Amino acid sequence: LQKFFPVTGQLGRIGGVKGQVKAVNDVSFQLFEGETYGLVGESGCGKSTTGRTLLRLTEPTGGKTIYKNQDIFQASKKELRSLRKDLQMVFQDPYSSLNPRKRIGQTLEEPLVIHSLGSKEERRERVFDILNKVGLGVEHYYRYPHEFSGGQRQRLGLARALVMNPKVVIYDEPVSALDVSIQSQVINLLKKLQDDLKLTYLFITHDISVVRHISDRIGVMYLGKIVEEAPTDSLFASPLHPYTKALFSAVPGANREHKKERIVLKGEIPSPLNPPSGCMFHTRCPFAMDICKKEVPVKKEMESKHFVACHLY
């Protein structure tokens, strides 16, 4: 397993804005085998586009994603099909991707049929096994999507991704639609599955508490760029970027540790159609200086593996 995924400049769609917009601009990060990398930021910052582009669910216009020495962006259709066995994505609302007229068992078997994996019996066994792994039972095999609760549907979404025995799973807001009590159940299940099945996760969310709970490392995104990246403990012990500090200020739990540095963000996230010059955060940053409007800050390593892109440092 080649262990990194740099992604750079691509055109696409961001936060509901259609048209030729630079949704993700010079995003670069590595995903190491067995880890969970959390990508966090406000809605519309390009997180989902990054996740989708990695798997070419959104076609990139530039850059590269290296997996097992292969550039996914250059892969042929056939190569891509085989790559997608290893790389799966789970979305916020799995219900929309479940056919309401098909029994769950049939839906879960579909990818195995498409890739002609196993006999009919073996496929059924595989689906039974996966249903058990995600905390559902054999009895659910014959049910229809509408018979499941929200939490159970997210387990089905998970089952659908895992049935192919992937190596990497990309989650886009997988628990954001769930009640808080159900959220922690699902997060704990994700952690257990990661250990049992030796999975690597990219976890995309706007939720600071959730990302903190699950991630080994975190990248903070603002307007299509990663502005700070650090191991989870280091990020919460000493957030450096004013945007990260502001995000943490808004969370009761995280806030307690950073009372002195409470920052409340003014205004809305700027339109990606017309992004600010220099540091893209300067229109909302309480520490903005003259240089911030003119020069794009370069990423610097402040502590071991703790990177920030800000002129204050």
Binding residues (CB under 5 A) for Mg ion: these are: 48
Report the alpha-carbon angle 56-57-59, nearest 5: 50
138 binds, among ligand SF4, Mg ion, none (CB under 5 to 8 A by kind): none
**Binding partner of residue 297 among Mg ion, ligand SF4, none, CB under 5 to 8 Å per kind?**
ligand SF4
Question: What are the start-end ranges of the H helices in 134-231?
Answer: 150-162, 180-197, 208-214
Q: Over the Cα atoms of the chain, what is R_g?
A: 20
- Map the footprint of ligand SF4 across residues 203-242, applying CB under 6 A: 241-242
Token pair in block for residue 313: 């440092």
Under rule CB under 6 A, which residues in 277-306 are in contact with ligand SF4?
279, 281-282, 285, 287-289, 292, 297
Nearer to ligand SF4 by Cβ, of 47 and 284: the residue is 284
**Total count of residues recorded for the chain:** 313
State the minimum distance, in angstroms, from the CB of residue 297 to ligand SF4. Answer: 5
- Which residues of the chain form beta strands (DSSP E)? 5-6, 10-14, 17-24, 28-29, 36-40, 66-67, 70-71, 87-90, 168-172, 200-205, 217-222, 225-231, 300-303, 306-308
The nearer residue to Mg ion, 44 or 60, going by C-beta atoms, is 44
Phi then psi for residue 278, to 5 deg, are: 60, -130
Residue number with CB closer to Mg ion (38 or 297): 38
Residue (of 40, 48, 44, 42) closest to 229 by Cα position: 40
Binds 48: which of Mg ion, ligand SF4, none (CB < 5-8 Å by kind): Mg ion
Q: Whose Cβ is closer to ligand SF4: residue 198's or residue 266's? A: 266
State in angstroms the smallest separation of the CB of 241 from ligand SF4. 6
Strand order in the sheet with 306-308: 87-90, 168-172, 200-205, 36-40, 217-222, 225-231, 306-308, 300-303
Which residue's CB is nearer to Mg ion, number 53 or number 234?
53
45 near ligand SF4 (CB under 6 A):
no
Residues that bind ligand SF4 (CB under 6 A): 241-242, 279, 281-282, 285, 287-289, 292, 297, 310-312
